[in-house]
């Protein structure tokens, strides 16, 4: 007679757990859907408002083209815009690459020698705080190759976040681990390779995400100041040119391509960061709710 | 215990002083005052004292992470030829366990235990078996590929102990390794640590502020007082190993705890009077 008495609460417990689990699963699936559905809906709503404003106010396409008109232009000018995108992106990515190599290299140098850090960091800071748009005309005068001019402008803005974040990361090593390496007689190189670089990785990844966006901004600013007539096309140069010609639909199309490129850079750097840190870093580790 | 006494010292500290903040305008703090200690091979020696008594400073000086203001440190048997004695530990002489597990979060359990070998240039293949044997001994077989964040506090500490023991060093330094763990985990690790020490046959210098822990683990307890940090008593725990859970309920254990506790209170009172 004891058996049913003890079994009954168990069954009841199971039933409660199941109900709770079902509710939990439902919440999770709603959450998953909402994650991509909500941004999509708000963007669709924004485009619809844009369209209505143009239609209701009968705004001329050379002042504000409707979304449909812009989409048409995007299709019609696809080849032109694609060439522009390639130009702008090649400058952006090359600048980002040089910023990563230079930023990490200099950060490593800084942690190896206090003297080097003290002598060089003022230059790094000056480079960072001076607006690139103010230096660009000078770069145009002093540097011969237009490609190098653009690259230099984009590099100047992308370089600093990599340098400062990586330096911070290399210096953020747990002091006990540092002592441990010392006790085991680790060489300078071993300490860098097995302790400081892995510890700096999350910081570097944060810097890379910022620098990716900044490199694009730097490339666009450089094209505005230097681009037209120099390197020829490029998305920002296309925007300027379209503005002069009152080809506003093409201007909007180019703008959309720039925004898409920025989003793509953000997504890719985010994905890289996730892949590099997913095994161990809190920022990338999924927690069960 | 008689045989143990006959074993040669691994490490001897002669009249070590350490003063912090001797600069202008700073009141110097005497962290260690005329501190002498001889750790014999096979010892499980505990430094027991209130915080600020210089026990961690002593450990840092032994680990060569800090220089004494004055005094001498001798590694090796003082009776042996001078060529075999050193003032600093050589690589491989020391294993260390800190208060925190101090694991590399980006490395697996196996890679964390492999660290001392990696730094001395030994390839993973050569020492793989030793690492696995060690992980087996600390009860972490099957966790080789886990990352530290996936482990509990007690398991992380086991990895840390495995890393310290895996090279079979002459001396293992432990700086309040179990202070941050809960009582149940702590007792379990105390028992297991003794079993591990018996298996590896290593010498341990253990810093703690727990009377019970020091009596359970050690064959010698050095009680220290603070300001200035100094030795005020040495208690010999002549109870045979292996000591199991049953040792905690023996009258000898209770008497030794009382003795150590009294000495510790003397240490605290002296500081209050000073």
Average pLDDT value for residue range B257-263: 94
CA distance B196 to B161: 9
Does the pLDDT at position B145 exceed 90? yes
Out of A180, A190, A280, whose CB is closest to B105? A280
End-to-end CA distance of chain A: 40
Chain A residues touching B106 at Cβ < 8 A? 198-199, 201, 279-281
pLDDT average, residue stretch B102-124: 93
> Which residues 172-231 on chain A approach chain B with CB closer than 8 angstroms?
174, 176-177, 179-186, 190, 194-195, 198-199, 201
- At residue B38, does pLDDT exceed 50? yes
Write down the pLDDT at residue B81. 74
Residue in chain B lying closest to A282 (CA): B149
Burial class (CB in 10 A: 0-12, 13-18, 19+), A6: exposed
Name the phi and psi angles at B203, rounded to 5: -100, 135
pLDDT at B80: 75
Q: Read off the tokens for A51.
A: 């369209």
Report the share of chain B in percent with pLDDT over 70: 95
Give the pLDDT score at B203: 94
Identify the closest residue of chain B to A187 by CA–CA distance.
Answer: B119
**Which positions of chain A have pLDDT values less than 50?**
1-11, 230-231, 288-289
Distances B165 to B59, B113, B121, B190 between C-alpha atoms, Å: 17, 9, 18, 15
Return d(Cα B178, Cα B213) in angstroms, integer: 9
Q: Do A194 and B116 touch (CB under 8 A)?
A: no
Which residue among B63, B106, B115 places its CB closest to the CB of A280?
B106
C-beta of residue B178 within 8 angstroms of C-beta of residue B157: yes
Tell me the DSSP string of A34-48: HHHHHHHHHHHHHHH
Q: What residues of B are in contact with residue A199 (Cβ under 8 Å)?
A: 106
State residue A1's pLDDT score: 40
Which H or E run includes A155? helix A146-170
Mean per-residue pLDDT, B106-126? 92
**What is the model's pLDDT at position A228?**
52
Cβ separation B65–A179 shorter than 8 A: yes
pLDDT value, residue B3: 46
Tokens of B33: 């005052």
Query: How many beta-carbon contacts under 8 Å exist across A and B?
Result: 54
Name the residue among B89, B106, B119 with its Cβ closest to that of A181.
B119
Are the Cβ atoms of A198 and B104 closer than 8 angstroms?
yes
Q: If you measure CA to CA, which chain B residue comes closest to A176? A: B102
Count of residues in chain A: 289
What is the average pLDDT value for chain A, to the nearest integer? 87
Sheet-wide strand order for B9-20: B29-40, B9-20, B70-75
Which stretch of DSSP H or E encloses residue B45? strand B44-48
In angstroms, how far is the first alpha carbon of chain B from the final one? 37
Which of B67, B119, B151 would best serve as a mutation to test chain A binding (most A beta carbons within 10 A)? B119
Torsion angle defined by CA atoms of residues A11, A14, A18 and A21, in that order, rounded to the nearest 10 degrees: 170
pTM of the model as a whole = 0.85
Question: Residue B236: enclosing H or E segment and its boundaries?
Answer: strand B230-236
Farthest CA pair distance, chain B: 58
Pairing of strands B44-48, B203-208: parallel
Report phi then psi at A122, rounded to 5.
-55, -40
Output the pLDDT for position B156.
96
Between the ranges A186-190, B92-96, B123-127, where is the mean pLDDT highest? A186-190
């Amino acid at each position: 007679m004891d058996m049913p008495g003890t079994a009954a609460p168990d069954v009841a417990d199971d039933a409660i757990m199941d109900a709770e689990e079902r509710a939990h699963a439902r919440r999770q699936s709603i959450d998953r859907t909402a994650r991509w559905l909500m941004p999509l809906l708000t963007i669709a709503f924004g485009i619809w408002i844009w369209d209505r404003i143009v239609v209701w106010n009968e705004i001329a396409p050379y002042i504000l083209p409707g979304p449909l008109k812009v989409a048409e232009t995007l299709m019609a000018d696809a080849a032109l815009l694609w060439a522009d995108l390639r130009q702008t992106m090649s400058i952006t990515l090359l600048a980002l690459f040089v910023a990563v190599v230079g930023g990490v290299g200099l950060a490593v140098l800084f942690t190896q020698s206090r003297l080097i850090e003290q002598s060089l960091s003022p230059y790094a800071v000056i480079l960072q705080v001076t607006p690139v748009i103010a230096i660009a005309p000078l770069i145009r005068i002093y540097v011969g190759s237009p490609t190098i001019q653009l690259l230099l402008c984009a590099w100047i803005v992308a370089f600093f976040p990599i340098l400062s974040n990586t330096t911070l990361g290399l210096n953020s090593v747990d002091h006990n681990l540092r002592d441990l390496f010392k006790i085991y007689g680790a060489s300078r190189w071993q300490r860098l390779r097995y302790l400081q670089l892995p510890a700096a990785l999350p910081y570097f990844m944060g810097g890379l995400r910022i620098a990716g966006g900044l490199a694009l901004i730097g490339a666009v600013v450089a094209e505005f100041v230097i681009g037209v007539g120099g390197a020829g096309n490029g998305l920002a140069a296309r925007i300027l040119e379209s503005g002069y010609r009152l080809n506003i639909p093409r201007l909007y199309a180019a703008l959309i391509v720039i925004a898409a490129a920025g989003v793509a850079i953000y997504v890719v750097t985010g994905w890289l960061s996730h892949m590099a840190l997913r095994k161990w870093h809190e920022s990338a580790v999924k927690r069960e709710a | 215990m008689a045989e143990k006494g006959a074993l040669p010292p691994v490490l001897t500290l002669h009249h070590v002083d350490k003063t912090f903040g001797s600069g202008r305008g700073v009141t110097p703090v005497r962290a260690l005052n005329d501190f002498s200690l001889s750790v014999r091979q096979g010892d499980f020696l505990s430094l027991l004292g209130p915080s600020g008594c210089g026990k961690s400073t002593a450990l840092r000086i032994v680990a060569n992470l800090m220089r004494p203001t004055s005094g001498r440190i001798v590694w090796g048997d003082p009776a042996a030829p001078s060529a075999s004695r050193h003032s600093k530990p050589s690589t491989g002489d020391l294993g260390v366990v800190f208060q925190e597990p101090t694991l590399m979060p980006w490395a697996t359990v196996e890679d964390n235990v492999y660290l001392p070998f990696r730094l001395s240039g030994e390839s993973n293949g050569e020492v793989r078996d030793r690492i696995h044997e060690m992980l087996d001994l600390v009860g972490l077989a099957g966790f080789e590929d886990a990352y530290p964040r996936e482990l509990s506090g007690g398991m992380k500490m086991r990895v840390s102990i495995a890393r310290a023991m895996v090279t079979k060093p002459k001396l293992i330094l432990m700086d309040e390794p179990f202070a941050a763990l809960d009582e149940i985990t702590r007792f379990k690790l105390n028992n297991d640590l003794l079993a591990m020490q018996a298996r590896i046959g290593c010498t341990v210098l253990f810093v703690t502020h727990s009377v019970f822990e020091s009596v359970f683990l050690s064959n010698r307890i050095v009680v220290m007082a603070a300001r200035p940090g100094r030795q005020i008593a040495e208690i010999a725990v002549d109870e045979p190993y292996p000591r199991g859970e049953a040792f905690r309920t023996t009258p000898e254990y209770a008497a030794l705890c009382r003795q150590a506790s009294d000495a510790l209170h003397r240490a605290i009172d002296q500081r209050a009077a000073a």
